[in-house]
Copies of this chain bind each other. A is one copy, B any other.
């Protein structure tokens, strides 16, 4: 089974969604969790499920370039083929993205190209959607390229914005979709069912 690494910066609920789907009906080996700092909730989840983890923290490296060069070497040594960003907040360097071209996916809590790119993360996304008065938002799983949220799109699903929604409530409903969509995307990827032609992606059933 193909090896994947999951990158996380926080509580790790996206990470958990991949763990759960993979335990129920295995499709990959989660070779390791890469945490962006010590003490985050995702690390506890890795321990609980006996998944190896490493911490690659900005503060331990003179530059992000050196961090990602070292992390890239580590992942190659481990035989990791795919990388899943699961609530990972550090922007990857361009050489790292090139090194793992078409191998890194991320999920974003809006319907890209709306409400995405620099500055749109966490609750800010949902606050912007609500202030705009959009009636639909949703979730997008996409490949990672050098442009924030700019890579080719694997999957999207819409979620209704309710007139009474707070950013927190909208976030919660979109997270539920994300926790279903992200493992499906990982599964399709590792099973070789994702076909990419420029920006156009088709996924075999």
Contacts and interface: CB of A to CB of B under 8 A. Distances in A.
A138 B158 CA distance: 10
Interface of A: 111-115, 130-136, 138, 140, 152-158, 163, 198-202
A153 B138 contact: no
Contacts of A156: 134-136
Given A111-B114, A113-B132, A163-B202, 20 more contacts: A111-B134, A111-B136, A111-B158, A113-B114, A113-B115, A113-B134, A114-B114, A130-B200, A131-B199, A132-B199, A133-B152, A133-B153, A133-B199, A133-B201, A134-B156, A135-B140, A135-B156, A136-B138, A136-B157, A136-B158
Contacts of A131: 199
Main secondary structure of the interface of A (DSSP, over half): mixed
